[in-house]
Chain A
Amino acid sequence: MPVKNFVVGCFAEEGGLFKAVKKVRTSGFKLHDVYSPYPVHGLDEAMGMRQTSLHTAGFFYGLFGVIAALGGMAFCTVHSWPLNFDGKPHFPLPAFIPITFEFTVLVSSVGMTLTFCWLCQIMPGVKKHIFHPRQTDDLIVMAIELTKDAQAEEVKKWFTDLGAVEISEQKAETGWWYGNFAKPAKYEQEIESGETVTS
């Protein structure tokens, strides 16, 4: 996974963050991500993110659950070894419905949870770079990737104008890695050599 340079601005309140998020889309800077300790309503729309496709995945998991449960039961009790329960028809659909329902719920919920973990890159053991230790506590953290159009000084000034309480420059791993909380040794030097400036 590539290691890139970032300028990280921290906001104490939602108001400043929204102003910054709206401005960043017109300023030409490349917004990496925003981290907040709590869900912020309307942030995803302000950031211009597309609708999640998690629901669609959920529908197909559900469909799979219905087919698997009904098909499985029908194969076992109707086709492979026909059973007769209490004079009911050989294909007792109402009797299959509760199990189908439960299995559909199980498949779609477990499937959606795993898909959510995949989309958000969270899993036990999966580690990502933390831009600021207080990003899960009381600060809203916004990371802007440095490109050749966006110089560090320029971005820092932009953050200061918007009223960020803490600004730093960081060299960080963009993707995830599997391991301990300590950063992998091969990146350590790279990251340490990147100067960290706090204003």
Chain B
Amino acid sequence: MKEQFVMPAKLRTISIVLLAIGILALIIGIFALGGPVNGTRFWIVLLFNAIFFLFMTLGSLIILCAATLAQGSWHIAYRRVIEAVFMAMPVFAIIAFIIMMCIVWGDKSAIYQWADKTLVAHNKLLQKKSAFLNPSFYTILTVITLGMWTFFGFRIRRLSLKEDMAPAGTTKIFWKTYRIAALFIVFYYLTNATSTWQWIMSIDVDWYSTLFMWYIFASLFVSSIAVITLFVIILRNFGFLEWITYEHLHDMGKFMFAFSIFWMYLWFAQYLLIWYGNIPEETTYFTIRAWGSYHTLFYLNLIINFCAPFLILMTRDSKRNYTIVAYMAILVFIGHYLDFYLKFMPGPLKNNWHIGWYEVGITLGFIGLMILVVTRNLSKAPLFPKNHPYMKEAIIHQS
């Protein structure tokens, strides 16, 4: 049994190539797209990717904490993979923070309109919102949010590593993790609202939706499960994690299935209320997405994120099939990438959106960085959390 992960040379090469493509796209972007000075597309793509990947790694921490609180054993067999994914959060947090600060303080009023003082002076709505949406408060809250998320991540990881060293059969560390997970869930519940409102919802500054935080939460949860599944399957293909069977895969398939439906529920709930109410300041959000130039993407989003997982992952056999689950995980990942794209782009870019070399390049760069950081984290600790009280239960797990 291979307990220690060694990064396969192939995976390292792939990730470094992807990262190089990303950096190349960034450098060309600086010169070709107006660069840091006035490139709205340049910044919004960076912001969108940074927040998408940050949320995906954060989702992994939420999954771990929620499963710990429920005293579930299903995730323990691949707990180290979940840990490795959320330990990539600090890297993405730093990148996202730098980009956000550049946008907020760099006078990029095309993205965050509330950051522009002259605009605010002429807009009564923005003046009312300015207590919450102003550069200083944005910075403070972002620092606190990212700092605390990272802190909780480090704390849970350290406890998990400490458990390996502890004498077998102790439950003290388990209960300590339990308490920290509870604190994190409460903290996350509060920061989920503020961070999604400030970072994402305020791009369409006149528009607001109270459901938005849940909508983002569903999205990040399911994309995070997809990423964890992909990493587990990749690791198995390289000959690690031999104790993972299709029983574990079934669980991941179930989560992807269930949260795809949950995502659709929230997506539709938000749409339905705005469609019913028909209030001009709310409908602008959907006018450009569903009837504007994003029309195709808008419906494609629903098909990829709901119809496909719902119909394909419905049967028991497909959830226990490595190939189908792997392809569905990739599809769900792409789908939620698209979903985030639709949240970010219509605000600042209006109808001049692209999915071109720059978008693809930056995304590949982020994927490369993610693979690199996650595999590095995986190689830092044994893949088998041998002293976890639920380890045996997790291995003989039947779903």
Contacts and interface: CB of A to CB of B under 8 A. Distances in A.
Q: Which 3 A-B pairs have the closest CB atoms?
A: A41-B398, A94-B272, A94-B275
Interface string A18-51: 0000000000000000000000011000000001
Contacts of A120: none
B189 to A, nearest CB: 26
A59 interface: yes
Interface string A54-86: 010001000000000000000000000000001
A183 B271 CA distance: 59
The A interface, classified by DSSP as helix, strand, loop or mixed, is: helix
Contacts of B102: none
Nearest to B272: A94
A12 B275 CA distance: 61
Given A41-B398, A42-B398, A55 B315 contact: yes
A86 B276 CA distance: 9
Interface residues of A, number: 10
Contacts of B398: 41-42
A15 interface: no
A59 B271 contact: no
B316 A97 contact: no
A97 B275 CA distance: 13
Contacts of A51: 316
Contacts of B272: 94-95, 97-98
Overall SS of chain B's interface: helix
Contacts of A98: 272
Nearest to A42: B398
A59 B315 CA distance: 10
Interface string A83-101: 0001000000011011000
Contacts of A55: 315-316
A59 B275 contact: no
Nearest to B317: A51
Contact of A59 (B268, B276, B278, B314): B314
Contacts of A86: 278
Interface of B: 268, 271-272, 275-276, 278, 314-316, 398
17 contacts: A41-B398, A42-B398, A51-B316, A55-B315, A55-B316, A59-B314, A86-B278, A94-B268, A94-B271, A94-B272, A94-B275, A94-B276, A95-B272, A95-B276, A97-B268, A97-B272, A98-B272
Given A94-B271, A97-B268, 10 more contacts: A41-B398, A42-B398, A51-B316, A55-B316, A86-B278, A94-B268, A94-B272, A94-B275, A95-B272, A98-B272
B392 to A, nearest CB: 14
Nearest to B265: A101
A51 B319 CA distance: 14
A42 B278 CA distance: 54
Max chain B Cβ within 10 angstroms of own Cβ: one of A59, A94, A95, A97: A94
A97 B273 CA distance: 12
A86 B275 CA distance: 11
A55 B398 CA distance: 18
Contacts of A41: 398
Contacts of B268: 94, 97
Nearest to B396: A41
A99 to B, nearest CB: 12
A97 B276 CA distance: 12
B13 to A, nearest CB: 42
Nearest to B278: A86
Contacts of B314: 59
Contacts of B275: 94
A90 to B, nearest CB: 15
Nearest to A85: B276
Interface in A115-153: none
A46 to B, nearest CB: 12
Nearest to B311: A59
A95 B277 CA distance: 11
A94 B398 CA distance: 39
A84 to B, nearest CB: 14
A98 B276 CA distance: 12
A95 B275 CA distance: 9
A68 B202 CA distance: 41
Nearest to B274: A94
A50 to B, nearest CB: 12
A80 B271 CA distance: 28
Contacts of B278: 86
A94 B276 CA distance: 9
A57 to B, nearest CB: 13
A133 B278 CA distance: 64
A78 B368 CA distance: 53
A55 B318 CA distance: 13
Nearest to B315: A55
A19 B278 CA distance: 66
A22 B276 CA distance: 60
A55 B268 CA distance: 26
A174 B276 CA distance: 58
Contacts of B316: 51, 55
